[in-house]
């Protein structure tokens, strides 16, 4: 009976270890270096802060030839190096079926300089960030 239990325990450990490697986790989860955080002790920040970021967006945004107004919500990754990557529209402007405003928002974010990366426990980490960009006719 003990040999059978030991055998099944070893099989179970093997399959658990194998499944963790297949989905991208190392056997020792403390060595996981590419974890993506959503909230950290020190959030990533645009160089110069929020006021400078809004100024950058206002200078670089080119309002497309459309009658639509609203807010585009974009999720992206601020990497350990401060680079922005993996842009995803969470919510576009209602009625903008072609996504013209969403495309413009992503274009402007791709122009941004590197950010100051986020930190958790004193270490620089990858952080997922959500930014709303408002489009309004003046």
* pLDDT at residue 124, as a whole number: 97
* CA 34/CA 124 separation, integer angstroms: 11
In terms of Cβ atoms closer than 10 Å to its own Cβ (0-12, 13-18, 19+), residue 58 is exposed
The residue-averaged pLDDT of 10-25 equals 38
Identify the band that residue 16 occupies on the pLDDT scale cut at 50, 70 and 90.
Answer: very low
Segment 118-128, tens digit of pLDDT = 999 999 999 99
Residue 101: in which H helix or E strand, if any? helix 100-111
């Amino acid at each position: 009976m003990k040999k059978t239990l030991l055998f099944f325990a070893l099989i179970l450990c093997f399959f658990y270890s194998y499944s963790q490697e297949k989905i991208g986790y190392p056997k020792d989860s403390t060595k996981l270096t590419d974890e993506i955080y959503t909230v950290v002790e020190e959030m990533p920040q645009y160089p110069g802060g929020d006021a400078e970021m809004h100024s950058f967006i206002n200078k670089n945004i080119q309002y497309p030839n459309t009658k639509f107004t609203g807010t585009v919500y974009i999720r992206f990754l601020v990497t350990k190096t401060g680079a922005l990557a993996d842009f995803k529209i969470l919510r576009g402007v209602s009625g903008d079926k072609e996504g013209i405003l969403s495309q413009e928002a992503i274009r402007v974010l791709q122009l941004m300089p590197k950010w100051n990366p986020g930190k958790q426990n004193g270490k620089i980490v990858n952080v997922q960030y959500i930014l709303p960009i408002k489009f309004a006719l003046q």
